[in-house]
Amino acid sequence: LSQIAEDQLEQQAVLKNGEAVSVQLNAGLNIKYEQRISVGIDGVGLYRTEIPFMLQSGFPSEDEQKNRYREILSFFPDKPVVLRALDIGADKQLPYMPINEENPCLGWRGIRILLDQPEIFLIQLRAMLKANLEFKNLKILLPMVTSLDEIDEARTLLLRACDEVSREIKCECVPPPLGIMLEVPSLVFMLSQLANRVDFISVGTNDLTQYLLAVDRNNTHVASLYDNLHPALLRSLNLIATQCQYYQLPVSVCGEMAGTPIGALLLIGLGFRQLSMSGRSLPRVKYLLRHLDPVMLQSFMQQVLQAETTTEIKKLSSEFMERQG
Ligand code: PEP
Ligand code: MG
């Protein structure tokens, strides 16, 4: 980290009027580096548990998983750490569990696999719960949820894992907060029901963009169509922010968009106050936040939400940022 970046990191994440923004880390790639920057963040908003699974030659045991999760929870003992349940399938393949499908992004992935193979899920849940016994800062996040039934089934398995751990350690294991990734467009229209079912949601703009626009996020032929600033995506995000506020459902955004200057600007403008991003995005987003005036954002956002094209949205955003210095 450069000196300037270090200085930015230590600054508080507040808007120009002093309003606080919770800035969290997307962790899992370089845990030693991530531990170093723990001072400048409000917790881990997304730890992708599939990454260590992908680097092994077979499924890690419950103990191996527990040790790894415990290490991460211990790095941030007084801050929340969101561990996302295994999100494999599609672009994230395990060498020891190959999945060959015609249409993998719409196929067997994320929570669908975990509910079909509950033994994999239960081992992971028990490992997470045991890892949490000391620090109690764990939150569990479910990937690729499409419908409410999946949440109910996952919660039943979580309670079962809790029961099993309680019996093993002979003391009560309290279930941690349970949240879901909002990354499948169906859930944008289910927020009132979600509010009764989950403790928090985390918006995955990477997949939400892919599924809303029907554009493969990793296919170079259609890369120019994969667009985080598409008016339809911004309008969906607006609906999410408004409804979450109405139902008092805690929401954060953990897709890559939250770590880019224009993305963070628009998300704050839409009313999101929790952003999770990679370590390298933190200094510049913190710098940007301290220069944003929420009052000035209001009329700008009205224009953005009426814009008809991405080009228009980009132009409005650059002009706004220039005016804000
Ligand atoms: C997302 O989809 O926005 C997300 C954060 O998850 P991933 O990139 O791991 O699919
Ligand atoms: Mg995703």
pLDDT reading at 1 higher than 70: no
Candidates 67, 25, 70; CA nearest to 48 is: 25
Quick one: pLDDT band at residue 209, thresholds 50, 70, 90?
very high
The answer to whether the CB of 121 falls within 8 A of the CB of 159 is no
Least confident of 30-34, 71-75, 302-306: 30-34
Judge if the beta carbon of residue 48 lies within 6 A of ligand 1. yes
pLDDT, one tens digit per residue, over 256-292 is 999 999 999 999 999 999 999 999 899 999 999 999 9
pTM of the full predicted structure? 0.96
- Give the pLDDT score at 159: 98
pLDDT, one tens digit per residue, over 72-86 is 999 999 999 999 999
Quick one: pLDDT band at residue 28, thresholds 50, 70, 90?
confident
* DSSP code, position 79: S
Quick one: pLDDT band at residue 324, thresholds 50, 70, 90?
confident
How far, in Å, are 12, 99, 151, 180, 285 from residue 8 at the CA level? 8, 43, 39, 31, 9
Local structure of 166: helix, strand or coil: helix
Distance 167 CA to ligand 2 centre (A): 34
The answer to whether the CB of 182 falls within 8 A of the CB of 144 is no
pLDDT reading at 33 higher than 90: no
Judge if the beta carbon of residue 26 lies within 6 A of ligand 1. no
* DSSP code, position 176: P
Distance 93 CA to ligand 1 centre (A): 14
Q: If you average pLDDT over residues 134-156, what whole number do you get?
A: 98
Q: Is the ipTM, as predicted for this complex, more than 0.85? A: yes
What single string gives the DSSP state of each residue in 194-243? HHTT-SEEEE-HHHHHHHHHT--TT-GGGGGG--TT-HHHHHHHHHHHHH
Q: Could you give the CA distance from residue 301 to residue 211 in angstroms, rounded to a whole number?
A: 24
Judge if the beta carbon of residue 207 lies within 6 A of ligand 1. yes
- Give the pLDDT score at 319: 96
Average pLDDT, the chain: 95
Distance of alpha carbon 109 from the chain centroid = 17
Quick one: pLDDT band at residue 179, thresholds 50, 70, 90?
very high
Q: Could you give the CA distance from residue 35 to residue 75 in angstroms, rounded to a whole number?
A: 6
- Give the pLDDT score at 154: 98
- Give the pLDDT score at 29: 75
